[in-house]
Structure 1
Amino acid sequence: LLEDVKTVNIGNEMAVTLSAGIGMDGLSYAQNFEFARNAIDLALGRGGDQAVVKTSASITYYGGKSQQMEKNTRVKARVKAHALEEIITGKDDVIVMGHRIGDVDSFGACVGIYRITKALEHPCHIVLNDVTTSTKPLVELFQDNDHYEKDLILSSQEALDKVSDNTVVVVVDVNKPSITECPELLHKAKTVVVFDHHRSGTEVIENATLSYVEPYASSTCEMVSEILQYIGEHVKIHPEEANAMYAGIMIDTNNFMQKTGVRTFEAAAFLRRNGADMTVIRKLFRENANEYKAKADAVSQAEIYRGAYAISVCSGEGLPSPTILGAQAANELLNIRGVKASFICTEYQNQIFVSARSIDEVNVQVIMEKLGGGGPLNIAGCQMEDVTGTEAIAIIKKTLDTMIEEGDL
């Protein structure tokens, strides 16, 4: 049905898509109705063109193969900005955090929320437990900088000690509570705000006072950059902050080659006007020789499975943030003609981290969801425990085989 409805053509330029939410196995009709309502919200939040079946025990997804249409209206961003302003104004302080093993988009969005909070004359702190290779150049811009407080960046424990009933906890670049920097903060805080550009999965942050999850956006930095433009009277952004957010957009879009829309470039232009410097950003993100070699090895050893799926292992031995290299190697493999999707398995902290990438022909999100992960349609990932890199590759191949046989790919 989801595929058939796309064939509807009565002169429309855009393909018709259908979203459905189904609730079942509830204790009553009312509960089934609530399940169905939650299911349709999930289907739309994940980009539409899919059916979601929710029961008391599980959530099952069907479809979701289409790229979501870009949205050109900023009405929602303006409404969310005003709501955020009201929430922060009515509280004492703000603590902002991203996901574990933070990346540039996550940290850049944290910095953007910091600037919004300071513009509203409230204190703000960023929770960051481990500084990764990718975020280190940016973090150093804010440490030992007279423009910023000495305690700008806190550990999880320091944040837990500081949180009160009048604290707003803002979560960026993630809507899955278990992989936030400090999940305990979500239970301790009474006011939680979520900004994210990933498709919602089964596990989401419950009872958020304000939630702005938009899968159409290229990055969370793009979303926060838009919100900045609607806060108060002309928020003054420092060059360091503009660089951090611009870098977040640049990295998440693979230098503006993936998932970029009109609003992505508008956000980038706004940051450029406020002091973002491409030369500074390029110098910040140069790799060292060992990282470059590890990435090159992963690309050179890749196997092209079924003539369309590039799969490889990235050795992270002796490197501080091998998962970042894995993601970069997955992007590189897409440059090979004929490759529809790429998968890089990286061992880190006794787990296998899988980075999955595609351009437009394959929805890697649904593949990663089969393995317990998720993400946007063409940039997804998952984590595996108690397996080696070789075993992880075998699992990925088996999953691809099954999905191809069942017509899901």
Structure 2
Amino acid sequence: MKGKKFTGIFIQKAGFYLFVILLLLTIIAFLEIKVAAPGFVFFLFLLYYHFRYNYKRKKEITQYIENLTFNIDVATKDALLNFPMPLVLIELDGTIIWYNSSFKKIFEGEELLEKAIQTFTKDLNPESFSNETMNFSDEIKIHDRNYCVLGNFIKVDKRINEDEIILLLYFIDNTELVNLKKTYDDEKTVVGVFIIDNYDDLMQSTEDTKRPQMVVEIETKINNWTAYANGIVKKYERDKYLFIFENKYLKTFQEKKFDILDSVKEINVGNTIPVTLSIGIGKGEGSLLDKFRHANAALDIALGRGGDQVVIKDGEEISFYGGKTREIEKRTRVKARVIAFALRELIDQASEVIIMGHKNCDIDCLGSALGIYSIATKRGKEANIVLNKSNPNIECMISKIESSKEYEGLFISTGDALEKINKKTLLVIVDTHKPSFTEAPDLIKYTEQIVVIDHHRRGVDYLQNAVLTYQETYASSTCELVTEILQYVEEKIKLAPIEAEALYAGIVVDTKNFTFKTGVRTFEAAAFLRRQGVDTVAVKQMFQNDLDTYTHISNAVKDAQMYSENIAISVCPPDIKNATVIAAQAADQLVNLKGIQAAFVLCNIDEGISISGRSLGDINVQIIMEKLGGGGHLTFAGAQLQGVSTEEAIEKLKKAIDEYREETPDNSKKE
């Protein structure tokens, strides 16, 4: 570094040479003044010439720069004024202070100067701009033209000791690109799969001579509805249809809420069961085969939710339409028998059986788990139920089980289950189909032998890798499904009293003493359990409330507020035991009151707020609870909200109710 500074002295400069000459003249003058005199005269001449030359040179450079700056300014102004791209200068509040001719052409005949730009382009909001981030929209639409807007901040001359900042915006016309993108999106292929719900039961309810007419009526409705889309409709099974059409027609179907669902219900040729359809639609990127797979997956979800609805699967995004009516009970037990045989084979091949239900286990979950435990032990397999902690819903039944030596070691924690499980372990999940809702979600990762038995409507995040799934939404409870399976696994099966009572209790609780979702098969299952020696009085006593609990339920009912005319919302008192049980029973009491079609009761839990929803069927509380991350059935459902206050939970609930009202404006009419 020092070497570079030292060599810099030898750079040729006139000033340096003059300094050397003066130094030499001074030395000569010291030796001989007469010799040095002419030299000083010559030195003065050189000094004058040097300063004169520098002054002239500097003046020429200054003039050249001034001329160049003037030429650049003229060129810049000319370029800005005649620039083919629309330009506009605005202040940070949006006030227009300058624009070029191209920008003026966009708003021909309008006065622009000193007016806010947002009055002309509502999609552009200057208030969102800042020196750090410039959020410019690429979806600005002006007079049927689309523009991509870019810009930068400019500092101008000082005004009152502060630099003023203005904004220069560039409008790039991308209308052709937007139109091309829209055309591409409109012309994408969409695949739909139709299925007639309960085809066999529907035909059996119709006279033989009228069955062909029934099929013709259904196909006529489908063909008339699909004709609008100019697509292809092909029947490929007796109750299934394939529908291929362009994406641009899907929006119209969505706006009309897929009115084909209501149209087919009008068919009446003597059938006692109404005609309903389930439709799965696959769209998005990928091949036709990918979309067909998406459509089938969507159809499975629709059927798992009870049918009579449309499910659209766009990649990972899923949307639902319909599903407002009650599920139709299936009279035939063929599927129950097939499931029983398949489950028996899986148990026989497994090394051991682990059973688990959902978090915050209820009596339906525990009863169905005990039923599967009974099957496994009678097949000679070791079986355990994963349960980390008890709760007021099952406390009485847990006490009975733990007091019996026969069930010693029945319940294991998640940690113990993780140590036991292996690839040959059969994992049976009851009363839920969502991995995130299970007692121990990590268990699912360690075995491929998984069975799901559930009666809830299928949600988006259902377990997809189960080897056997028995999900019937018409059933009153999972206990009802397990009770039917029990009758086919063994010819003459004998249940222990506790097992029979737990199964019976699950049915009683979920049907509200055989009031809701109670079909012929529900009574048949109860009759089978009664023959197994169930003490109905003991089961009733198991769920008797004490005076404090009844008082809390009464207070929750008394404090209920009406919302949206026929919906009641209430909140349980804080810091009470059995809060979830009290909330559920209070909701049950509220829907029994005249003028209330649905009720929601909130209560505090450790993780946040729990909501219990109940209805008489005119309002689908399951759809409302799904909007809050929960689920359930048409007449009873629930949800849990994490990290929110009671007030926030009520606001979220009201918003979900309002959205449901907008989506189903006719929900007050009984279907």
Normalised to the residue count of structure 2, the TM-score between the two structures is 0.59
Q: 1:288 is matched with which residue?
A: 546
Counterpart among 628, 643, 646 of residue 386 in structure 1: 643
Deviation of 1:184 (Å): 0.6
User: 3-state SS of the aligned residue for 1:229?
Assistant: helix
2:627 to 370, 376, 384: 370
Is the 1:88–1:117 contact (alpha carbons within 8 Å) kept by the matching residues of 2? yes
User: For 1:2-401, what aligned pairs fall within 5 Å after superposition?
Assistant: 2-148=261-407, 150-319=408-577, 321-401=578-658
Name which of structure 1's ranges 26-35 and 222-231 shifts more when overlaid on structure 2.
Answer: 26-35
Q: Select the structure of larger CA radius of gyration.
A: 2
Change (3 A) 1:146 1:407: closer
What is the CA–CA distance in structure 1 between the aligned matches of 2:426 and 2:663, rounded to whole Å?
46
- Cα distance in 2 for partners of 1:16, 1:279 equals 41
Question: What SS class does the counterpart of residue 277 from structure 2 fall into?
Answer: coil
- The number of aligned residues is 407
Structure 1: how far apart are the matches of 2:303 and 2:540?
Answer: 37
Please give the alpha-carbon distance, in whole angstroms, between the structure 2 residues aligned to 1:175 and 1:3: 29
Check conservation: 1:316, 1:348, Cα contact below 8 A: no
Tell me by how many angstroms 1:57 deviates.
2.6
The Cα shift of 1:361 comes to 0.8
Q: Distance in 2 between matches of 1:286 and 1:368?
A: 28
Q: Distance in 2 between matches of 1:315 and 1:168?
A: 42
Q: Which amino acid aligns with 1:383?
A: Q
Q: Normalized per residue, which structure has more helix? A: 2
d(CA) in 1 for partners of 2:333, 2:359? 30
Partner-residue secondary structure (3-state), 1:237: coil
- Residue identity matched to 1:330: A
CA 1:194–1:160 in 2, change beyond 3 Å: closer, same or farther? same
Q: Does the Cα contact within 8 Å between 1:294 and 1:316 map onto a contact in 2?
A: no
Query: Which whole-Å CA distance do the structure 2 matches of 1:134 and 1:399 have between them?
Result: 27
Q: Distance in 2 between matches of 1:401 and 1:206?
A: 32
Q: Secondary structure at the match of 2:488?
A: coil
Return the offset for 1:243: 0.6
Structure 2 gap segments, 5+ residues each: 1-258
Aligned 8 A contact 2:448 2:466 in 1: no
Partner SS, residue 199 of structure 1 = coil
Structure 1: state its 5+ residue gaps.
none
Q: Which runs of 4+ in 1 moved over 3 A?
A: 405-409
1:209 deviates by 1.0
Q: 1:132 to 1:316 in 2, by over 3 A?
A: farther
Q: 1:402 is matched by which residue type in structure 2? A: E
Q: Report SS of the residue matched to 1:282.
A: helix
In 2, Cα distance between equivalents of 1:169 and 1:313: 38
What whole-Å deviation, never above 9, does each CA across 1:34-77 have from its counterpart, x for those lacking one?
Answer: 10010111111111111000011311000001111111111100
Answer with 96-105 or 350-359: which moved more.
350-359
Contact kept? 2:358, 2:432, Cα under 8 Å: yes
Residue type of the alignment partner of 1:303? Q
Q: Percent identity?
A: 46
Deviation at 1:316, TM superposition (A): 4.8
Q: Secondary structure at 2:406's aligned position in 1?
A: coil
The CA deviation at 1:91 is: 1.2
DSSP 3-state at the match of 1:129 = coil
Per mean C-alpha deviation after superposition, the further-off stretch among 351-360 and 243-252 is 351-360
TM-score normalised to structure 1 length: 0.96
Per the TM alignment, residue 372 of structure 1 is displaced from its structure 2 partner at its CA by 1.8
Computed over aligned residues only, the root mean square deviation of the Cα atoms, in angstroms, reads 1.3
Contact 2:328-2:474 at 8 Å conserved across structures:
yes
